Structure 1
Amino acid sequence: MSDPEMSIAVLIADDQALVRCGFRLLLEIEPDLEIVGEATDGLDVVQQVRRLRPDIVLMDVRMPRVDGIEATRRIMSLPQCASRVVMLTTFDLDDYVYEALRAGASGFLLKDVEPAILIAGIRAVHAGESLLAPQVTKRMIETFLTRRPAPDRAVAAQLATLTTRERETLDLVAQGLSNAEIARTFVVAETTVKTHVARVLLKLDLRDRVHAVIYAYEHGLVAPRELR
């Protein structure tokens, strides 16, 4: 049994019973993960999130009635909702990545991901980290190659509120570096980097690291060739 004060509450949303069962069997053996419910379509998952308030929602993209992207958008609009959404899909659906992240998803993984990576990813997202499969990140950045933005005065004003170190932190986050990697780059403690990241998110009114990446690429702050 997991400690209810320490466990991460997970809701599984997929219209295929076999998939839901597989994820449940995989995750429920972890002492810090608790499966609090299963949803079979987009409307169902929104209702269950409202009732159960899970920490993490594993969300399929394609579901009946309401798809995973719209369901994510509705979940993010729920009052005082602290749930984080991790989208799970097959490789041929990665064109949905951008819309899913814009809708409020905190991560995006492929369904053939290694179990250990999925479990570590759930823990990372719960801790406030971003989660993007390398293939997904590559396709998303390729998309931004065709979307070079026009100069934006409002964005320039926002960026002017960042210190030099905070701007450097944003650049490295956008390149996909973890807090530990950024700490090694700056030769500082990881807790210092966490503070920089938190200030960047606050000043730019961004929800999490995933949306910091989107912000940076949307506004041309980081060139795609810089991605690690």
Structure 2
Amino acid sequence: MSFFEVFNEFLDKHLDWAPLSGHYKVLARLLRRFELYRQKTTRTKFTLILNDFDSGEIERFKNFVINEPKIYDKYPSIYKAASDVVETARKPRRPEKRGENSIIGILKRLRAFFNWCVKRGFLDRTPFATFTGIGSEKYGTPYYITIEERDLIADFDLSDKPALEVQRDIFVFQCLIGCRVSDLLEMTSESIINGAIEYLQTGLAYLPTVSTSCLSIAGR
């Protein structure tokens, strides 16, 4: 099996149901662009091979992720020629500069893929066993708004700006139930069970249900 055949099996059999599956599809496309970039810069028919992916390749991939906006400007044909390795409706566009936490998240997802490969017997050892350059996420000090400030935001007239009004309502709704954007985007009408919201918090254990009173406040 090729590298991307294994990756797609990882998506289909391990992550098809998971809230974060979209992030791994982004990773698959990122790895494909990296493969094309290596072909351009080495002037060879370079192909990602599972057993050849070592700590050095991870470092090169990390540098690609960091410098992709500049790489896009220098090698735009990569993005025009890149075939989708997973189904998507997105059109190629210039990548934005990624923050440190975003880069760390990408590398952690790649590490999760290789750990799965070891468990499934595709690899004897993950290349991350000798790679120490992931780092740790850093977050700033959180600042909390008061209930009065929340109500001012909720009641503010944004009828002349419908798009902003929707974003405001999403923000207020999140204030009431405490979910993250990634969890919110996965919610459907089926998330409301017996008048309460139930969902699996991304990457964590089961989160208790939210009371129906939150729904009535958010819907005012």
Q: TM-score normalised by the shorter chain: which range applies?
A: under 0.3
Structure having the higher Rg: 2
- The structure richer in helix per residue is 2
Greater relative contact order: 1 or 2 (C-alpha under 8 angstroms, separation 6 or more)? 2
- The structure richer in strand per residue is 1
Q: What TM-score, normalized by structure 1, do the two folds share?
A: 0.27
